[in-house]
Amino acid sequence: MNDACSPVMNVPLEILQEVFLHHRDLVHGRSRGQSQSHQDRCTVKRSPGYSWIAVSHVCHRWRVAVVHCPPLWTYLSVTRSAEWMAEVLTRSGSMLLHVTAELGATLDGDKTRAFQMVLAQLHRTRSLCVSGRVGDEIVPLFASPAPRLERLVLDHVVLPTPADPKNRDDAHIHFPSFLQRDLTPRLEYVELDAFQPQLHGPCADSLKHLVFRHRVAGTLMGRRYTGPCLLSLLSALQNMPSLESVAFDKEAHVMLGPAAEAELQGSLPDVVLPFMRSMHVHGTAEESVALLGHLTLPALADLSLSCARNSTEYSEALPAALAHTLAAVPETHTLHLAQFTGSGFHRYMRFAGYAAPALGSAPAQTFDVMVDRGYGREEIVPNMCRELPLEAVRELTIDSQEDLSESTWLALLDALPNLASIAVKGPFAPYKLPEVRFRLESAKSIQVHAGDSPMCRRIPTLRALN
């Protein structure tokens, strides 16, 4: 059969182009069904690449459809060819761009020239992800206005060393300068991986979401450790008053280096974030205490914290710091307590709280706190229960691979005066119910006082969950 008579050849170019757009997004893990803001926050940071272009090699008609479809060329990955970058920019027309520049660990003159060409289009760049070593030719270009920029990722960016550090200009000191308010009026999301910003003014009022990651920075006596960054984070937050969510993700299962220890003992700034509703923290217990202690979050609705310390000791200040922070969240109606045993980092306790659900909706999470058990230190649960705001809890779910001690049960019941039901979860839940009932009955004799009249605590209802 003649290819010209094939039904696929009669498909209008507009439909072909729509198919190619879906093909490109499938190849590179994007979803066209999501809103742009959700996609920007959730898309994996991978180079968009150009492997999807193979569809343009099928026939002349398909090539015409690809070349003359500007939306297909809006996800741009910087290559070593300035000529190819110029061609891609031409094909994208005047569309907004999503740029990924993986510059590598060493300076590459060809890629630098290609990236310079791309940054000349900063005025129509919607998202920008930069990683690797940045040359002297590139840094000044970031001082250009980026009026359409909404998303910025700086991943292990290495700046050039000025010839004269004493006289280095603002381009080196305050990179990237387009974090500032006047240059990026639409900037909404910033992710800084192993990059500590130095800001010389407020960020854009539009900035709502910050992700701050700082992983392994070196070695100390054969152990990997993380460098200091809490001071940099708090200093940056002072210039981001409009934030609604913050994620602080730092390696937790290692020893802190001397510089990081000194930073925690030094003077850290206090920060008020009046609009922040969601916060995620992953760090050591000491860092978590310091961070929570210097933040005031009156609008907080959701806190997720995961911390550990490779030690037999545990920070006694953590429960109090949590109580201070969680005072702003909605009342906790349901508490989930999980206890996992094993060896090393598999021994931990997890506390998750949920607000009372609205009619017809699932309960909203208010906090999720996971702490290392300190190799068997049972007082973590009582300490947490005494400090966390749990007075309004009506439902308790326990998912534990071992029975809770009597002292733990007593602490739970004391912290949950309005508890009405207990659910035991896990594959052995039906067999654990008698144990749970025994613990409750043994604690039943605890006297609670209403004025001068003692009365017995009512035993909550029990059920098993699969």
Domain assignment present for residue 278? The answer is: no
Q: Is 216 helix (H, G, I), strand (E, B) or coil?
A: strand
Domain assignment present for residue 22? The answer is: no
* 53, pLDDT greater than 60: yes
Q: In terms of residue numbers, what domain contains 123?
A: 98-106+115-205
Domain assignment present for residue 162? The answer is: yes
Cα Dmax for the chain: 98
Domain assignment present for residue 436? The answer is: no
Q: Is 39 helix (H, G, I), strand (E, B) or coil?
A: helix
Domain assignment present for residue 455? The answer is: no
Q: How far is CA 245 from CA 189, 273, 297, 302, 325, in A?
A: 10, 10, 11, 9, 15
pLDDT at position 166: 67
Angle between helices 285-293 and 258-265 (to 10 degrees): 30
299-318 pLDDT, tens per residue?
999 999 988 655 445 567 88
- The label of the residue with tokens 């920008």 reads 128
Record the pTM. 0.83
Where residue 125 falls among pLDDT bands split at 50, 70, 90?
Answer: very high
Domain assignment present for residue 196? The answer is: yes
Domain assignment present for residue 226? The answer is: no
Q: Mean pLDDT for the chain?
A: 79
- Overall domain count for the chain: 1
* 99, pLDDT greater than 90: yes
Task: Give the amino acid at 397.
Answer: T
Which whole number is the average pLDDT over 353-372? 85
Domain assignment present for residue 198? The answer is: yes
